[in-house]
Amino acid sequence: MGADGLESHLASIANNREHAAVVKVLVEWLMEDQSKEGHHFGQFGRHVDASEEAFFQPNKEEVLSLKPRLYLTGWPCVILARHGLAEQQVMLAAEGANRLLRHEVVHVSQSSAPDMPPDSTPVIVSFRHSIRAAQILLDVGKHLEKVRGILGRMFDPSLGWQNKDGGWGQSAQFRESDLWASVYAAALLQKLLVHATFFVRGETKNVEVILQRTVDYLEEKWTESKWAYGSVPPEQNASNVFIDVARVFEQRANPLYTAVLQWLSTAIEPTSGTIRESLFEKCPRFTRAQANTRFAYAFFLGGHLQERWKTLYDMALSHLDESVNSADVSFLLDMTIAIEKQQKSQACTEADVFICHASEDKESFVRSFAEALQPHVRVWYDEFSLTVGDSLRQKIDEGLKSSKFGVVVLSKAFFNKNWPQYELDGLAQKEMSDGVKVILPIWHGVSKEDVEKYSLSLAGRLAVTSEQSLDAIIGKILAVVRPNR
C-alpha cells in the first residue's frame, strides 16, 4: 500500500466512527507504515511527510533519508505495547532499535548542527538517538542490557552528555543543550525510576538529581521561548514536547504542568471547543489533522475531562485525508481505545464503592478489605481500576464521579498524604451536592483523638475500625451500600 493508499485508508474512518472499526484501521495503518529493511529496519514512519521532517531540522542540508526515525518509532511502540496490539511489529521495532545500538550507542551520518555538512558515513555518536533507542527498548522490555549501557554513558560526567545547565547535548560533535534530547532524557529517566532493579543501592538519589536538573532546564526553556525549536513556532512544538514529558511534569513540576495546559488552552475557541484559525495562520505547515490530534492528546494526558478533548479528537478524524505521521496515529489509537473503554464502563453502570486510602495501608489492611468486598459490590480500587499509562487525576475523578459511596480508610499515613485528601474532598463535595450520605469511614490504627485533630466532622461520624474481623467490617459496609440485599 503506497502513501496515497494509506491516506485513503485513514480517510475511510470518516464514514465509520464505530470505535472497534477505527482501532482496526489505525492499527493496520501503523503496520503498513513500518520499514522491514534498509537503514530504517523496524522503524515506523515509512510514509512520513518529508517536508514536515525537514521543518524540524536546523541544518536544512541534512540527509533525512539516512536519519533514524526514532521519534516516529517510539510512540507506536508505547501505545501498541500498552494495549497488546501488533506484537510482531513491536518486537520488530525493538530489534531495529537494538541494531542501531549494536556498537552500544547510535551512530548517525549527519547531525542537526547548522555547521555540519551532510555525510553518508555513520560516525557521529548521537546522544539524542541513543537515549530514544534506549527508551524504546525499555517500553518494549527487550535488550535491557543495552538500556543499562546507555544509562552508564548518561551518568558518566566525563562523557558530557548532560551539560551544566541541565540540558542534554545532541551529539559528540554538537554538545550544546538541545530541547528534544533533554525531553527524551527526562522521559527515559522518569520511566527508569519506576524500575528500581536498574539501579544499585544509593544510585536512585543521583538519578533524581539528574532528572530534576533536566526538568529545571525544560522549565527554563519554556519561560524563554515556550519551547520554540529552530524555525518551528511554539504553537506547533509545545504540544509535542508536553506529550512526551506530561507524566514527568505532573509528578515533578506541577505548576509548569498546569501552566503549559493553560497556555495550550488559549489556542482553543471557548464556545466551539475547536482550534482558533489564528493558530493555522501562525503555523501554515501544521495540518488540521496534526494540530487537532496533538492538542487533543495533550489535553487527554493532562487529565482533562473527555468533553474537552473529544471535540478535537473528532475534528482530527474528520481531517485524516491530510498529512499525519505514526506518532499522530498512535495518539488517535490511544484516545480511541480510552473512549471505547469508557463507554463499556458506563454501560456497566456506576460503581457502588470508591475506596479512598493511603498506599502505605495496602499491605496491612486495604488490599484484603478490597478483595473481600469485591464479590459483593462494584468496587473502585486503584489496583482493580487503574492500568499502566492512565492519568491518575483523570481516573480518580472518573471513579469519584461514578461511585455511590466512598469508604475512607483513615490512618496516620492518610492524614499526611495529598492524594487521599484530594479524594476525600471530592467525596465531601459529592455528599454536599447530592444531599445524601456518601462517606463511610474506617479507622485504621488511629484513635478518636487522632481523627479529631485531623477533622472534627469526620470524628463525629459513626465509623468501623480495622481491628474488627473482615467479615464484620464487610457486613457493616454492605448494610449501608446494599440495605435490601
Give the residue extent of every domain in the chain: 1-21+231-348, 33-225, 349-481
* pLDDT at residue 304 is higher than 60: yes
- In angstroms, the CA 309 to CA 303 distance is 10
Kindly name the residue from 250, 423, 431, 452 that is annotated as catalytic. 423
Per the structure block, which three cell numbers stand in for 55? 521543518
| Mean per-residue pLDDT of the chain | 87
Of 195, 262, 260, the residue nearest 227 (C-alpha): 260
**In this structure, are strands 351-356 and 379-380 parallel, antiparallel, or unpaired?**
parallel
* pLDDT at residue 2 is higher than 60: no
* pLDDT at residue 130 is higher than 50: yes
Q: CATH number of the domain at 349-481, please?
A: 3.40.50.10140
Stronger pLDDT, 312 or 339, i.e. the higher one: 312
* pLDDT at residue 200 is higher than 80: no
Tens-digit pLDDT profile for residues 204-235: 888 999 999 999 999 999 999 999 998 899 99
Q: What is the mean pLDDT of residues 448-459?
A: 90
- In angstroms, the CA 282 to CA 405 distance is 49
Q: Quick count: other Cβ atoms within 10 Å of Cβ 50?
A: 10
- pLDDT of amino acid 3: 44
Q: Is 423 a catalytic residue?
A: yes
DSSP string, 245-290: HHHHHHHH-HHHHHHHHHHHHTTB-TTT-SBPHHHHHH-TT--HHH
- pLDDT of amino acid 183: 98
Per the structure block, which three cell numbers stand in for 134? 534506549
